[in-house]
Amino acid sequence: MSFNMTDQDQITSSNESAQGGKAVIEIKDLYKSFGDNHVLNGFNMTLMEGENLVVMGKSGSGKSVMIKCLVGLVKPDSGTVKVLGKEINSLDQQKLDELRSDIGFLFQGSALYDSMTVRENLEFPMRRHKEKLGVVADTEPLVREALDNVGLAHTMDLMPVELSGGMKRRVALARTLILKPKVILYDEPTSGLDPITSKEIIELMRSIQKKYGTSSLIITHDVDCARVISERMILLVDGINYAEGTYSQLSQSTDPKVDAFFKK
């Protein structure tokens, strides 16, 4: 059995028949180079509604570049990137901002604002996306709900410097939840965390998906994270979607480029 699905028709039709749902993200033939560094060379990916899709790739393979293309932070050289039915690169700034309010992006690291309290960090996207929530006179219930989801309501008035690495990651996750996004993009949600804290973060990601029915794209090189959370996986190798399948399918592959991911 081969999992080298570079044929887009094959990918699309297999997804539709397997899931019967609709695509919330569609990347077709994505190319991106930085000078002579050809990072993405015709990458394809579809995320179906309600799905947990994991993209694995080694360090420097272009995972963060790909995810940044999804929110318009990196402009591709060619190819199409559709999120929630909209072609990202044809949107003006206002429309792009509107769309971004439906996309939760957990950055690699956690990227909290160090000079703001936890509460202010969570209020920030609410201010930025007023059009989605309207004028919120009292932000506290929303901030509390988002922090309750990650078990950290008691940290509301602390500064990021007072939090551990795992807590910061959870606060960042709460911040992505505050706008009740339809899609969450996780860039290395467990990197730099110990195994127990990683497990806690993975459990949170699962409970969030259950509670809000979000669709999730999870970028990781953590094999354990991929095993636990993925319903489907794509391996990014040499700038393309080199292999695609479930964890158990891919982990049994005899293709050396695929097998390399699963060797401990």
Q: How far is the CB of 49 from ligand ATP (least distance, A)?
A: 25
Applying CB under 6 A, among 10, 18, 22, 37 the residue interacting with ligand ATP is 37
Other CB atoms within a 10 A radius of the CB of residue 153 amount to 15
Binding part of the chain for ligand ATP, among 61-69, 81-89, 136-144, 240-248 by CB under 6 A, reads 61-69
Q: Which is nearer to Mg ion, 48 or 66 (CB)?
A: 66
Applying CB under 6 A, among 56, 65, 126, 217 the residue interacting with ligand ATP is 65
Q: Is 60 in the site for ligand ATP (CB under 6 A)?
A: yes
Query: Alpha helices, DSSP H only, in the chain?
Result: 8-19, 63-70, 93-100, 118-128, 130-133, 140-149, 165-177, 195-212, 223-229, 247-251, 256-262
Q: How far is the CB of 53 from ligand ATP (least distance, A)?
A: 16
Q: Is 64 in the site for Mg ion (CB under 5 A)?
A: yes
Q: Is 61 in the site for ligand ATP (CB under 6 A)?
A: yes
Q: Is 64 in the site for ligand ATP (CB under 6 A)?
A: yes
DSSP letter string, 187-223:
ESTTTTS-HHHHHHHHHHHHHHHHHH--EEEEEE--H
Residues 6+ apart with CB under 8 A from 56: 219, 220, 221, 223, 226, 233, 234, 235, 236, 261
Point out which residues pair with 169 in neighbouring strands: none
Binding part of the chain for Mg ion, among 7-15, 92-100, 106-114, 245-253 by CB under 5 A, reads 106-114
Residues 6+ apart with CB under 8 A from 111: 172
Q: Is 59 in the site for ligand ATP (CB under 6 A)?
A: yes
Q: How far is the CB of 192 from Mg ion (least distance, A)?
A: 12
Which residues in 202-241 contact ligand ATP (CB under 6 A)?
Answer: 221
Q: Write out the residues near Mg ion by the rule CB under 5 A.
A: 63-64, 108
